[in-house]
Amino acid sequence: MTTEDFYWALIDLANGLMTGATLGGYYALISVGLALTFGVMKLVNLSHGDWLIVAAYLAVVILGLYPVSPFWVLLPLVPMMFVIGYVLQRGLLNRVSTFAVERRGLSPIMAMMLPLLITFGISTVLSQALQLVFSTNAQTIRNDYSFSAIALSQDLSISTLRLGFLVLAAVLIGALALFIQRTHIGRAIRATSDDAEIAALMGMRTAHVYGVASGLSLMFAAFAGFMIGMSRSFQPFDGPPYLLTAFGVVVIGGLGSLGGCFLGGIVLGITQVLAGTYFGPAAQQLAGYLLILLVLAARPQGLFKR
């Protein structure tokens, strides 16, 4: 091996690690909402991926009406998605939650199946509705950052947008963790997820607490959907693959753990990019799924859950 070969091998590795890590930030943001609803309500939300796409379309619509710099769209988009999440939970999902179904005296199988069926139904309705309104043409959020990169050396650079999203993911997930740790409603979210009956004895209204948790979940879907729209094109039926990725991240990081979500995203990102670098693009997805299988087999509680 010549010195030059060695240099390029190092550059490949550094590039792989950096690109992987920034891709991980992107993955983490996609997954937080899923981790949150699972962690708090034991709700496996099969429509999670579709909500990301809904958020991306909403961003395009708002920017179509008010052509401002794309980042401003978060200002209306994030609270809008929070409200949708809250209303959806109170109006529909609370009625089929495991807790509610068991209380109604239905069998545990129903308690497990009903939320899955309902959220699967929501997924179908959302993607069909998006197709009806927007047709299947690919959309994107137009911006000037798509191809911009920060050069670290002559042969090493990092996508500005991806780096921004990694920072955004870290800040947002940190803020969410603080919110859940320190505020009254955050404490109520933790209490209700631990023991809903006792939480009610403390004056906590389960239906409201679940509503807030779902609102937060879709709030993060708003950030993630915006990020998807900024960095690539999307179509009405793009939701499910994102759901799969989010599942992977949640499995790797540990079910329902927020910090695990962030680290899990980064591990998955780095694994995929390195596999792509050394074994070709086809290996990228395969390596990701192999990692997920490996974690499920060897450490089902996730890599980062104590």
The site for another protein (CB under 8 A) is made up of 103-105, 184, 187-188, 190-191, 194-195, 197-205
Looking at beta carbons only, is 41 or 204 nearer to another protein?
204
Looking at beta carbons only, is 142 or 205 nearer to another protein?
205
Q: How far is the CB of 248 from another protein (least distance, A)?
A: 25
Looking at beta carbons only, is 205 or 232 nearer to another protein?
205
Q: How far is the CB of 228 from another protein (least distance, A)?
A: 32
Looking at beta carbons only, is 124 or 301 nearer to another protein?
301
Q: How far is the CB of 185 from another protein (least distance, A)?
A: 9
Token pair recorded at residue 242: 């994102």
Q: Which of 253, 291, 251 is nearest to 275 (CA)?
A: 291
Q: How far is the CB of 197 from another protein (least distance, A)?
A: 7
User: Could you write out the DSSP letters of every residue in 178-197?
Assistant: HHHHHSHHHHHHHHHHH-HH
Looking at beta carbons only, is 3 or 184 nearer to another protein?
184
Looking at beta carbons only, is 155 or 197 nearer to another protein?
197
DSSP bridge pairs for 151: 157
What is the Cα gyration radius of the chain?
A: 20
8-state DSSP, 236: G
8-state DSSP, 104: T
8-state DSSP, 91: I
Q: How far is the CB of 204 from another protein (least distance, A)?
A: 6
**In this structure, are residues 302 and 252 in contact, taking their beta carbons and an 8 Å threshold?**
yes
8-state DSSP, 93: I
Q: How far is the CB of 88 from another protein (least distance, A)?
A: 22
The residues near 120 (Cβ < 8 Å, ≥ 6 apart) are: 46, 47
Question: d(Cα 107, Cα 114) in Å, to the nearest integer?
Answer: 11
The residues near 199 (Cβ < 8 Å, ≥ 6 apart) are: 188, 191, 192, 206, 209
Go through 130-147 and write b for each residue having 16 or more CB atoms within 10 A of its CB, e for each that does not: beeebeeeebebeeeeee
Looking at beta carbons only, is 105 or 280 nearer to another protein?
105
Beta-sheet pairing, 156-159 with 149-153: antiparallel
Question: d(Cα 255, Cα 304) in Å, to the nearest integer?
Answer: 10
Task: State phi, psi for 47 to the nearest 5 degrees.
Answer: -95, 5
Looking at beta carbons only, is 189 or 274 nearer to another protein?
189
Q: How far is the CB of 200 from another protein (least distance, A)?
A: 4
Q: How far is the CB of 82 from another protein (least distance, A)?
A: 21
